[in-house]
Amino acid sequence: MAFPHFLPEKPGKMIAVHVAFESRAAQRGRRPKAPSYFLKATSTLAESGGNIERPAGTELLAFEGEIALIIGKPAKNVSLEDAWEHVAYVTASNDLGIYDYRAQDKGSNTRSKSRDGYTPIGPELIDARLVDPAALRVRTWVNGEIVQEGGTTEEDLIFPLAQFVADLSQHMTLETGDIILTGTPAGSTVIVPGDVVEVEVDIPGELSSGRLTSTVVEVPASFDPKLGNLPQVDDKQREDAYGDRESAGLAPLPDKELSAELKQKLLNAPTAGLSAQLRNRGIEQCVIEGVYPQRQGTKMVGVARTLRFVAGREDLFKTHGGGLNEQKKVFDSVAEGEVIVIEARQEPGSGTLGDILALRAKTRGAAGVVTDGGVRDFEAVKEIGLPVFTQGAHPCVLGRKHVPWDSDIAITCGNATVVPGDIIVGDDDGVIVIPRELAAEVADAAIAKEHEDEWVAKRVAEGNSLDGLFPPTGQNKQDYLDFRDAQKSEQEG
C-alpha cells in the first residue's frame, strides 16, 4: 500500500476511539462514561481512490466514516483547554474492519481493523487553526446514497474532540504526525465487493476535506490455520456489523423488559400457585428441579438469558475456557431485569459462577442467576445480594467439570427447557419457567387462587371441615364469591 503522500509525515502511531457519537451509543445500547481506545497499524493507511480488499470467505466487512485528527506538535500532559493547539489538521477517514475476526481479537481489533488499506484518509487536509472543533460534520455515502451524518456539537458528541488529545496525552506523548480517529456516528453497516464508499469532513458551506473514495473488491484469502485463527462469525457479530438485528436479517430478540404491573403480579404470586396454573393449561414440565435460593425469603422474577456448559474436556477447555469465554460474555452483557439460566447438566461437581461474576451481574442490574450446577465462593456470592438459585456450594473452578460453550439458545436446566425470553420466577419452593405468552394469564389466575386459598385457610382455622371447602364447592363456593365481590366493591368505593 502506498503511504498517503499528502500527510506531513508518517505517523508513529494511530489511535482510534471506540464510541464517541451519541447516535452510535444509542444504536449500540451502551453509552461510555469515559473514552476508550484501540490501536491501528499505520500500515493500514491508504489514499483516496484505492481499493478495499475483502478476503474471500469473509462476510462482515463494515465501514465507519470518521474525523481524523493529525497532531502538529508533541502533546504530553496537556490540558483540555490547550489540547486543540496540538492538532495541525483534520480530515476524513474510514475506519474499516472485518467483524469475522472481531471476536477472536478479544477487544484489541488487531486483525479485524489493521489489514493493509483499512484506513483510507484524506483526500485534503483542513487546517485545524481555521476551524471550530465543535462545528465540523462527517458524512458517508455508499453507492451515492448518504448513510451517515454526524456533527461535533455537544448534542452530537459524547466527548469533545479535544478531550481525546488531552486524555491520551496523560498516558503517552502524542508526537507530530500521530493520528487520532474520533469515532463514527450511527449508520455504519456491511459493504460488499462492488460497493463504493465515500467519506467527507467539512464545515458546511466553508472548508472541506473533499470526498474520500474507496471501492470494495474481493481478493483470495490467505489465512493459514497452522498460524492462527480462521475468520468466524456468529449472530452477535452480524448484529454489530450491520448495526441492528433487522438489518442483519436476524429475528428480533425477545423483549427483555416486563411491565411493572406484570412483574409485581409475579412477585406477589407463589411459584406453587403459578405451577398449578401452568398445569391447568397442560404444561407439566415447568419446574427447574433441584435448585433452591442461597438465602431464604428470596423472590426472583425476570426474563431468561441462557448459558450452556458442555461436559469438561481438556482440549476443548483450552480453546473455549480462557479469555472472554462464553460464560464471561453473558455475565458481562446481561441486561437489567434478566435472569441468567445456566445448563450445567445437573452436575454440581464444580462452580458455575463465583463472587466476581455475581458482582458483575449485580452491577448490571440482573434479576438473578439459576444454575443446576454448583456455586464457588458461596458465602461471598450470598453477601453480594444477587438472587442465586443453585444445587449448592462447590470450591472447584469451572474447568473441572464444564466447558462454557454457547448462549442465547434453548437449554435444559434441571430437566426444564428454557428458551431465551421465557419468564423465570423463583422463591423458597424453587424455580419455575413460564412461557412469555402465558405469563399475564397465569399470574392473574394464580393471584386469584391465592386469594381464595387465604379465605379457605381462615375457614379451616375457625374449625370448618375440608369437605366441600378445599376447594370450595356448593354453598362454600358461593360464600367465597360473595366475600370476594364485597371486598372488590369496598376497594372500588
Q: Is 126 annotated as a binding residue?
A: no
d(C-alpha 220, C-alpha 192), whole Å: 15
What are 319's three cell numbers? 480453546
d(C-alpha 334, C-alpha 359), whole Å: 12
Q: Is 354 annotated as a binding residue?
A: yes
Taking alpha carbons only, the member of 74, 68, 53 closest to residue 7 is: 68
Taking alpha carbons only, the member of 246, 270, 211, 282 closest to residue 427 is: 270
Q: Do β-strands 368-371 and 97-98 pair in parallel, antiparallel, or remain unpaired?
A: unpaired
Q: Is 356 annotated as a binding residue?
A: yes
Q: Is 355 annotated as a binding residue?
A: yes
Residue type, 382: K
Q: Is 377 annotated as a binding residue?
A: yes
Pair 311, 389: CB distance under 8 Å:
no
Cα dihedral value 297, 360, 322, 24, nearest 10: 140
- Per residue, the 3-state secondary structure of the chain, as one string, reads CCCCCCCCCCCCCEEEECCCEHHHHHHHCCCCCCCCEEEECHHHEECCCEEEEEECCCCCEECCEEEEEEECCCECCCCCCCHHHHEEEEEEEECCEEHHHHHHHCCCCHHHHCCCCCEEECCCCEEHHHCCCCCCEEEEEECCEEEEEEECCCCCECCCHHHHHHHHHCCCCECCCCEEECCCCCCCCECCCCCEEEEEEECCCCCECCCEEEEEEEECCCCCCCCCCCCCCCHHHHHHHHCCCCCCCCCCCCCCCCCHHHHHHHHHCCHHHHHHHHHHCCCCCCEECCCEECCCCCCEEEEEEEEEEEECCHHHHHHHCCCCCHHHHHHHHCCCCEEEEEECCCCCCCECCCHHHHHHHHHCCCCEEEECCEECCHHHHHHHCCCEEECEECCCCHHHCEEEEEECCCEEECCEEECCCCEEEEECCEEEEECHHHHHHHHHHHHHHHHHHHHHHHHHHCCCCCCCECCECHHHHHHHHHHHHHHHHHHHC
As annotated, the binding site includes: 354-357, 376-377
As annotated, the binding site for Mg(2+) includes: 377
As annotated, the binding site for substrate includes: 354-357, 376
